[in-house]
Amino acid sequence: MSSGTASSGRAVRLFDAHCHLQDHRIFRVAPKLIRTALDSGVLRFAVNGVSEKDWKLVKEMGDHYPSVIPCFGLHPWYVSERSPNWLKSMREFFNATPSAAVGEVGLDKGSRGKEINFLEQVDVFRQQLELAKELERPVSIHCVRAYGDLLEIMQSAGPFPAGVILHSYLGSAEMVPGLAKLGAYFSFSGYLMSLKSQKAKKMLKLVPADRILLESDAPDALPKSNLGTLQWVEGDDSVPQELRNHGENTIPNANLPSDNEHHATDASTFPKETLNHPVNIHCVLKYVASLLEMPEEEVAELSYRNTMRLFSYPGSKVCGEG
Ligand SMILES: [Zn+2]
């Protein structure tokens, strides 16, 4: 199976519920990133397109790698660049790709999202939610400072029996039950470490066990962790020189490094733009397991099964697998 291990030394398998391996910042090294992550026990990757420009690449990655689940979506940051035919073109991608899910879509009132007309964001978001419902596929949702709007829209457009993924969930504990009732899964990335740990813990403990997912969101969301070890992307100029000299192949295992000097144990001093490697999902696992006070193996298996179930729609690559 896999050589991924938890702190206890036992093997784990993980499903990266949300990442962007087609992103131009890492596409060149994607084959290597995938190989390293697979070797560490990350067996599947839901690769999310964000704009019309990258859907073709996402489709090609899905066609090429059995481990890649392609997802097509128009992210709120790219709403103003959309062509008049964006929805028609998206439908064509779905027709040609029975294994695809929907994402990344969403709402953003954060510093970057504020630049994009919110009414247009809502319009594009709603149309993609409708499409996901029609296709009976899960949909990966980005939400920044717009949880009130999100809940309202999900209530009027929902429920979502095929599931929605609230990716990099950082909403409040209070919103969890209402969102869960509408079909939401809660996916956690390295951004969880930006919340106060008490707040994150309170929220996590309210998430139903069958709705917990883990993701890397690579190349974004580098965990700001001093738990475990992080791996960086080869060629990333933002990584301090002394670390960069050691290529990713020097690391035998994401969680059990044989040689600590090659690893950053605390990324909080790294520049904001430092790229995230999908294998760092192991650090997210470690952090989530510590907050839930559960063994890592248990959280890994739970989230793996949850993600497999969610992505087991007709036509999916994982349909019928355990
Ligand atoms: Zn994303």
pLDDT surpasses 50 at 259:
no
Rg (CA), the chain: 18
Residue 253 alpha carbon to ligand 1 centre in Å: 25
Mean pLDDT along residues 309-315: 95
Q: Would you place residue 261 in the very low, low, confident or very high pLDDT band (cuts 50, 70, 90)?
A: very low
Q: What is the pLDDT of residue 81?
A: 95
Q: Say which residues have a Cβ less than 8 Å from residue 252's Cβ, sequence separation at least 6.
A: 258
Q: Would you place residue 227 in the very low, low, confident or very high pLDDT band (cuts 50, 70, 90)?
A: low
Residue 75 alpha carbon to ligand 1 centre in Å: 8
Comparing CA positions, the residue from 70, 78, 121, 122 lying closest to residue 94 is 70
pLDDT in tens, 155-192: 999 889 999 999 999 999 999 999 999 999 999 999 99
pLDDT in tens, 182-225: 999 999 999 999 999 999 999 999 999 999 999 999 999 988 87
Of 230 and 207, the one with more pLDDT: 207
Of 271 and 93, the one with more pLDDT: 93
From 121-130, 150-159, 228-237, the region with the lowest mean pLDDT: 228-237
Residue 127 alpha carbon to ligand 1 centre in Å: 19
Q: What is the pLDDT of residue 270?
A: 72
Residue 79 alpha carbon to ligand 1 centre in Å: 15
Residue 275 alpha carbon to ligand 1 centre in Å: 13
Distance CA 210, CA 195 (A): 23
**Residue 142 assigned to a binding site:** yes
Residue 168 alpha carbon to ligand 1 centre in Å: 8
Q: What is the pLDDT of residue 228?
A: 57
Q: Domain ranges in the chain? A: 14-310
**Residue 282 assigned to a binding site:** no
Residue 128 alpha carbon to ligand 1 centre in Å: 16
Phi, psi of 206 (to 5 degrees): -90, -10
Residue 142 alpha carbon to ligand 1 centre in Å: 7
**Residue 18 assigned to a binding site:** yes
| Domain 14-310 class, CATH top level | alpha beta
Residue 30 alpha carbon to ligand 1 centre in Å: 16
From 217-226, 237-246, 302-311, the region with the lowest mean pLDDT: 237-246
pLDDT surpasses 80 at 32:
yes
Residue 223 alpha carbon to ligand 1 centre in Å: 14
Distance CA 117, CA 241 (A): 40
Residue 201 alpha carbon to ligand 1 centre in Å: 23
Q: Letter for the amino acid at 271? A: P
pLDDT surpasses 50 at 314:
yes
Mean pLDDT along residues 250-278: 57
pLDDT surpasses 70 at 265:
no
Distance CA 274, CA 240 (A): 10
Mean pLDDT along residues 286-312: 97
* Percent of the chain's residues with pLDDT above 70: 86
Residue 259 alpha carbon to ligand 1 centre in Å: 31
Ligand 1 (single-atom ion) residues, CB below 5 Å: 104, 217
Residue 20 alpha carbon to ligand 1 centre in Å: 6
The overall average pLDDT reported for the chain is 89
**Residue 20 assigned to a binding site:** yes
Q: Would you place residue 231 in the very low, low, confident or very high pLDDT band (cuts 50, 70, 90)?
A: confident
Mean pLDDT along residues 55-73: 97
Of 270 and 112, the one with more pLDDT: 112
Question: What is the token pair recorded at 219?
Answer: 């190349």
Q: What is the pLDDT of residue 11?
A: 80
Q: What is the pTM of this model?
A: 0.90
